[in-house]
Amino acid sequence: MQPVYFYNTLTRQKEEFKPLKPGRVGFYTCGPTVYDYPHIGNFRAYLFEDILRRTLEYNGYQVKQVMNITDVGHLTSDADEGEDKLEKGSKREGRTVWEIIEFYTKVFKENLHELNIEDPTIWCKATDYIQEQIDFAKKLESKGLTYVISDGLYFDTSKYPGYATLAKLNISGQQEGARVETNAEKRNPADFALWKFSPKDQQRQMEWDSPWGKGFPGWHLECSAMSFKELGEEFDIHASGIDHIPVHHTNERAQNWGLTDKESVKYWIHSEFLLVDGGKMGKSLGNLITLQQIKDKGFSPLAFRYLALQVHYRSKLNFTWEALEAAQRGYDNLVNEIKSFGLAGKIIPEFETQFKQVVSDDLNTPKALAILQEVLKANYPSSDKRATIITFDKIFGLNLNQITEAVELSREQEELLAQRQQAKVVKDFKKADELRSVLAEQGIKVVDLPDNQYKLEKSQ
């Protein structure tokens, strides 16, 4: 069996993956807070997790992936201060918090499917696990790891000697210093809420009774409670974007330790940020990009997937519209080249071995794409190249398995076709139609498919 390696944030090393149970993987991924449209920075992390799961499956593992939907308790500051993001979304749109949850969960799942990100084995919503979260906090309380102040029940991080290990935090100031609001009642700056009380002066739409008072669970508690419930108190992999390392995952790890006295997660794996035009992306910077915007500009969601695969998940991905345009062109060419290949070929073993090796080496998708290019250039029957690339696509997830009636194109006709695709991308539909007519006169019918794809047929 091909060994699989991952870079473990906890040890800061690339390690060989050894599952807790032979052949099986328990895999937890932090999902979205469903109060607004997700952006492409979020999707970069979900794409990385999708590649991670596909790679394990390609290597024969049976993966149980759990992804949560945060529908309560995530405050506007990750440090348990400010407004609940869900209540904020509800006010912004004049809809109930439950309508907000339903709407943005639907948007999120649709976007995942458009990006060919496979559903996790289990979806779990924080509000469906309130009792589990209360029970978890009660156990932490019974072990003397918590205290109550005026706005909630808090975890005392000074009780956990390993608290700073995951993020290599400088506890004495650095972490709290970055926060806008601090709570003077907390014993230590890094202490975090397990349960927050409802404000006395206003009615929350979501609140539950608890042994400490009416309120709602802290954001970090849901992931500990749900991962334990669905995967057990020890599981293999916890993944998401690196933005979660210093607060959310550090606090999850503290809770897990508090309950079990051990390291619950074997491999913490994190993807790097997505930048826009070389800088940070953010709502306040006015440069948040959603998948809808990408589609509105005529690009295919899979062109974004192709772009993301070109950069290793632990490197920053710099998004520019030019880069997306190049990815769309590259993707279209790739699909069309494969469409022209013969069917019923055999997988070329040497390429499959190389491919498996590079993806299993900490998910090296840029190298895997380079191998795909080598296959295209190699001197093999096109049907064998096709079979080989289709097997790679189990990981790439680029819908490369599109079949069409073989149509021979001259070099000039290929150029016309490329110009037509480009015209479609820039929404010059008049030019696109003209070029289609020119090709039709030459006996080539272009049939448009969803997602900026097309197929060619011989016209009568």
Neighbour count for residue 125 (Cβ, 10 Å): 17
Smallest gap from residue 2 Cβ to Zn ion (A): 30
- Of the pair 86, 387, the CB lying nearest Zn ion is at 86
User: Which 3 state secondary structure label does DSSP give 410?
Assistant: coil
Smallest gap from residue 137 Cβ to Zn ion (A): 16
* Residue in 265, 308, 298, 348 with CA at minimum distance from that of residue 448: 298
- Of the pair 33, 364, the CB lying nearest Zn ion is at 33
- Of the pair 30, 416, the CB lying nearest Zn ion is at 30
- Of the pair 204, 248, the CB lying nearest Zn ion is at 248
Ranges assigned E (strand) in 184-273: 192-197, 215-217, 235-241, 265-271
Smallest gap from residue 104 Cβ to Zn ion (A): 17
- CA 135, CA 200: separation in Å to the nearest integer? 24
- Of the pair 247, 446, the CB lying nearest Zn ion is at 247
Ranges assigned E (strand) in 156-264: 192-197, 215-217, 235-241
Smallest gap from residue 305 Cβ to Zn ion (A): 23
Residues forming the site for Zn ion (CB under 5 A): 30, 223
Smallest gap from residue 455 Cβ to Zn ion (A): 42
Smallest gap from residue 145 Cβ to Zn ion (A): 19
- Of the pair 30, 369, the CB lying nearest Zn ion is at 30
* Residue in 177, 174, 167 with CA at minimum distance from that of residue 254: 167
Ranges assigned E (strand) in 96-197: 122-125, 146-149, 152-155, 192-197
- Of the pair 223, 324, the CB lying nearest Zn ion is at 223
Could you tell me which residues come within 8 angstroms of residue 438 by beta carbon, excluding any fewer than 6 positions away?
A: 416
The full length of the chain comes to 460
Smallest gap from residue 75 Cβ to Zn ion (A): 14
- Alpha carbon separation from 412 to 196, 338, 439 (Å, rounded): 67, 19, 10
